[in-house]
Structure 1
């Protein structure tokens, strides 16, 4: 029985641990918090997961909350004008529904499941020195903790990381009491509101510790009017700021938010980080090698909502690579090949996300405008959140964009 150590109990670490466990591997999982501490703690992300990523969970029988979480059937885009009116407003229908389950609910539940199924769960923060000691007792060590000292073992890949500073200031609030959008109240949708030169507001339904809720998520251009959450410790002050900015920049979303209240004291989050791709292999002082997982090695800005999706896809790819490798050693060549397999998916996410952080070129604005008149364009853009590789065919290149739009109008 091959022994594997996974450090980090987020989407990728837990999904991979449970997947390997179901295949008969002896898995040790290290987490710096207990399940109860996670459940009672602060929200960690927005985690809207689309159909492909959700299917990876279903394949492992880990979709415990699928019947309870709201089914997100559409993705809407609005673009604000200088006077805070809507210049663009449409919703694309998703081929398969998306869902958001608060990671406090999911990670705590999965962690308990892993332990109940006989997995070795170690509650301890891990430093590089700890891994050096542990690595001698395991066939493979995987680092899935995307923050903290361990990430420094993985060198930044400058050729794949165009930004060296954060491109957005992030502010999340989980709320009860949000009213429905008057347009299409019959189905749930993620709403992406673009305020040119200022940032973006995302609104999405979720399942949290207290049942159904909605997430209000501002992404502000650093130094701009949305970059006001740093140092705000009081959750009620955080919510008041969120709503004040909605009233100013997205009044159509504020109109349904006048009665909201925070889901709980841990329902806010603020921060920022630089989007970074890193080399996948970390070298320990004693000479051992460890493989980075998900956002340890590919950390994109959440402007495209891909973090949990990428984590799920990375865990699925790594699981296949480990199982297919049989009894052979997990050497440097295998680690590089395993990351390259994941990069075939992740590169599309990185390219698209980095493009969405920049001011949109004219052909993209034309595409977004046309989607208001051409439902197939709206639907295709929405489904790109599930499969970002599709953007290659109609998004980046003005000629391809124009040809695609022309094909819709000629039909």
Structure 2
């Protein structure tokens, strides 16, 4: 029986640990918090998982909340005009539904399942020196803790990381009491609101500890009018600022948010980070090697909502690679090849996400506008959130966009 250490109890680490456990591996999971501490703590992220990522969970029998989480059937895009108008407003239909589950609920539940199934759980905030000691007892060490000292073992890949500073200031509020869009009262969708030159707001149905809720998520261009959350410490002030900005820039979203309340005092989050791709193999002081997982090695801005999706897809790729490798040593070549296999998928996400952080070129504006008139264009754009590789065919190059749209004009 091969022994594997997974450091970090997020989407990728837990999914991978539970997957390996189900195949008979002896897995130790290391987390800096207990399940109760995660469940009772502050929200850790926004997340909306689309069909492919959800299917990875279903394949492992980990879709514990699928019958309770809201079924998201579409993805809508609105563009704010300077006078509070919406010159663009459309919604695309997803081929398979999406869902969002507060990671406090999911990660604590998965941790408890891992222990109940016989997994060894170590609650410890690991440092590099700890891994140097523990690694000698394991065939493979996987690092899925995307923050702190451990990330320093993985050097930045400058050729794949065009940004060296944060491109958005992030502010999240989980709320109860949001009204549905009046034009689609029975159709749940993620709503992407673009405010040119200012930033974006995403509104997504979710499930939290107290039941169904919605996530209000501002992404502000640094130094702009949305970059005001850094000094706010009080959760109620955070929500009040969120609503004030909605009233100013997105009155149609504010109209349905007038009566919202925070789901709990821990239901707010603010921060920023630079999108970064890192080399996947970390070297310990003793010379031992560790493999980075998910956002340890590919950390994209959340503007395209791909963090939890990438994490799930990475865990699925790594699980397959480990199973196929049998009893051979997990050496540097295998680690690099395993990451390269994941990068085949992740590179499309990184390219698309980095493009969305830049001011949109004319052909992208034309594409977004056309989606309001041509439903198949809206649907294809929406389903790109599940399969970002499809954007290669119609999004990046003006010639491909024009050829795609020309097919609807004949």
- TM-score band, normalised by the shorter chain? over 0.9
Matches within 5 A, 1:22-171: 22-171=22-171
Name the SS for the 1:142 alignment partner. strand
Pair 1:260-2:221 in alignment: no
2:303 corresponding residue in structure 1: 303
Task: Write out per-residue CA displacement over residues 238-266 of structure 1, whole angstroms, 9 at most, x where no aligned residue.
Answer: 00000000000000000000000000000
Provide the C-alpha distance between the structure 1 equivalents of 2:263 and 2:82, rounded to a whole number of angstroms.
32
2:407 corresponding residue in structure 1: 407
Provide the C-alpha distance between the structure 1 equivalents of 2:17 and 2:87, rounded to a whole number of angstroms.
46
The CA deviation at 1:401 is 0.3
Name the SS for the 1:217 alignment partner. strand
2:360 corresponding residue in structure 1: 360
Provide the C-alpha distance between the structure 2 equivalents of 1:150 and 1:231, rounded to a whole number of angstroms.
27
Provide the C-alpha distance between the structure 2 equivalents of 1:363 and 1:122, rounded to a whole number of angstroms.
51
1:375 corresponding residue in structure 2: 375
Provide the C-alpha distance between the structure 2 equivalents of 1:209 and 1:146, rounded to a whole number of angstroms.
24
Name the SS for the 1:308 alignment partner. helix
Provide the C-alpha distance between the structure 2 equivalents of 1:186 and 1:361, rounded to a whole number of angstroms.
34
Provide the C-alpha distance between the structure 2 equivalents of 1:372 and 1:47, rounded to a whole number of angstroms.
26
2:189 corresponding residue in structure 1: 189
Provide the C-alpha distance between the structure 1 equivalents of 2:150 and 2:409, rounded to a whole number of angstroms.
52
2:216 corresponding residue in structure 1: 216
1:239 corresponding residue in structure 2: 239
Q: Which runs of 4+ in 1 moved over 4 A?
A: none
The CA deviation at 1:225 is 0.1
Q: What is the aligned residue count?
A: 410
Provide the C-alpha distance between the structure 1 equivalents of 2:406 and 2:46, rounded to a whole number of angstroms.
36
Provide the C-alpha distance between the structure 2 equivalents of 1:185 and 1:355, rounded to a whole number of angstroms.
32
Provide the C-alpha distance between the structure 2 equivalents of 1:329 and 1:232, rounded to a whole number of angstroms.
50
Provide the C-alpha distance between the structure 2 equivalents of 1:216 and 1:233, rounded to a whole number of angstroms.
17
The CA deviation at 1:149 is 0.4
Unaligned runs of 5+ in 2: none
2:5 corresponding residue in structure 1: 5
Task: Write out per-residue CA displacement over residues 166-213 of structure 1, whole angstroms, 9 at most, x where no aligned residue.
Answer: 000000000000011012112100000000000000000000000000
The CA deviation at 1:408 is 1.9
1:326 corresponding residue in structure 2: 326
Pair 1:342-2:342 in alignment: yes
Task: Write out per-residue CA displacement over residues 296-316 of structure 1, whole angstroms, 9 at most, x where no aligned residue.
Answer: 000000000000000000000
Name the SS for the 1:346 alignment partner. helix
The CA deviation at 1:409 is 2.4
The CA deviation at 1:231 is 1.7
Provide the C-alpha distance between the structure 2 equivalents of 1:161 and 1:239, rounded to a whole number of angstroms.
33
Name the SS for the 1:100 alignment partner. coil
Provide the C-alpha distance between the structure 2 equivalents of 1:362 and 1:253, rounded to a whole number of angstroms.
26
The CA deviation at 1:81 is 1.0
RMSD: 0.4
1:284 corresponding residue in structure 2: 284
The CA deviation at 1:331 is 0.2
